[in-house]
Amino acid sequence: MTQTDPAQPFRLAVAQLAPAFIDRAAGVAQIVEAIETAAAQSAQMIVFPEALLPAYPFWLSEGHGARFDDPRGKALFAHYSDQSVTIEDGHLEPVCTALRKASMSAYVGIIERPRDRSGHSLYCSYVFIDARGEVRSVHRKLQPTFEERLVWSPGDGAGLVTHRVGPFTAGGLNCWENWMPLSRAALYAQGEDLHIACWPGNRRNTEDLTPVLAKEGRSYVVSVCGVMRREDVRDDAPFADYLREAVGDMPANGGSCVCAPDGTFLMEPWVGETGVRVVELDPAKVREERHNFDPAGHYSRPDVTRLVVDRTRQSIAEFTSEGRS
């Protein structure tokens, strides 16, 4: 079987993991281990949850994260920022190397601290890395949800792109972005037939929406989730006792699942455990379901409704030097 053989099922690995809580180095090692596990199962692509590296900020909801100028909140944000991912500094290089070695592509959920936006604001980003180990796109979450806005910044459309992976055209969105019809339409318009929906984790987020998105897009839809338990707060985390109390017993119970283009489950939502599971995807199933409905093809009416997408990477300044000595 080859990466691009359309006659063979495509093997996709779903990594439902608990974070190495706010520890970037340990988190990178965990992701590399999952890649190696998937490679041993002959996977051609692996997908990871939202914000896995270094962690989702579970403490905000129950930990009084909205208190303005709170010393503990500021100290936690400083640590969270320090352990977040600056791609330009090579923080994902071990992941890229592992994928290159395995000839495997991946979507990886990170908290990004990019230098092109001051180097201090944080973005919930979904990163696509191809089978050559090259970062091909970084999608910054367009709209952080509710309390997430206390620590994450709103992204832009630069990452609303798709990628050819084997016989499929893959795209990915973060969490409640998957409820945004126009964001989904932007990916449909680029031929998406394998949709990756990443979540911090909960069955309630995935069991109803995943089949709906599969039927709407007539695509394979993968919901990949994390798990978070009180004991996943590391002893060396700042304010560890406070974080354990704020996090509670299990704020994220998993719920990863996979639906076929007709909306049936290939992988039922699984909860309360971590691991790497592999499913086989048959591209012929997409073609079968597109026979009667293709949202960006024969069933679209671009003469009546069209979508305009600005994929400019946002910046606070534009510098010009033409004509100056």
Inside any domain, residue 212: yes
Average pLDDT of the segment spanning 116-136:
96
**Cα separation values, 90 from 56, 97, 104, 135, 141, Å:** 21, 11, 19, 11, 21
For the chain, what is the radius of gyration of the CA atoms? 20
Inside any domain, residue 237: yes
Does the bond joining 54 to the residue before it have cis omega, within 30 degrees of 0? yes
Q: Is 50 a catalytic residue?
A: yes
Inside any domain, residue 316: no
Inside any domain, residue 318: no
Q: In this prediction, what percent of the chain has a pLDDT beyond 70?
A: 97
Inside any domain, residue 197: yes
| Domains in the chain, number | 1
CB neighbour class for 135 (10 Å; exposed up to 12, middle 13-18, buried from 19): middle
152: left (phi over 0), alpha (psi -120 to 50) or beta: beta
Domain with residue 93: its CATH number is: 3.60.110.10
State the pLDDT confidence band at 318, using cuts at 50, 70 and 90: confident
Instruction: Answer whether 96's CB lies under 8 Å from 129's CB.
Output: yes
Average pLDDT of the segment spanning 210-216:
98
Of the candidates 37, 92, 56, 26, the one whose C-alpha atom is nearest the C-alpha of residue 227 is 56
- Helix locations, 176-307, DSSP H: 181-188, 203-206, 209-217, 240-247, 283-289
The catalytic residue among 96, 124, 175, 259 is 175
Query: pLDDT value at position 2?
Result: 38
The encoded tokens of residue 279 equal 């499913």
Inside any domain, residue 86: yes
pLDDT tens per residue across span 80-103: 999 999 999 999 999 999 999 999
In DSSP notation, 3-48 reads TT-TTSPEEEEEEE----TT-HHHHHHHHHHHHHHHHHTT-SEEE-
Query: pLDDT value at position 325?
Result: 53
Q: How far apart are CA 158 and CA 203, in angstroms?
A: 30
DSSP-derived secondary structure letter, 266: E
Of the candidates 11, 10, 5, 54, the one whose C-alpha atom is nearest the C-alpha of residue 31 is 54
Is residue 265 predicted with pLDDT exceeding 90?
yes
The pTM of the full predicted model, rounded to 2 decimals, is 0.94
Is residue 4 predicted with pLDDT exceeding 60?
no
Inside any domain, residue 325: no
The catalytic residue among 96, 112, 124, 141 is 141
Q: Is the dihedral of CA 53, 59, 60, 65 positive or negative?
A: negative
Query: pLDDT value at position 323?
Result: 61
Q: Is 175 a catalytic residue?
A: yes
Query: pLDDT value at position 276?
Result: 98
Range of the domain at 197: 10-289
Q: Which residue has the higher pLDDT, 249 or 136?
A: 136
Inside any domain, residue 71: yes
Q: How far apart are CA 178 and CA 43, in angstroms?
A: 25
For the chain, report the end-to-end CA distance as a whole number of angstroms. Answer: 58
The catalytic residue among 50, 148, 177, 289 is 50
pLDDT tens per residue across span 194-211: 999 999 999 999 999 999
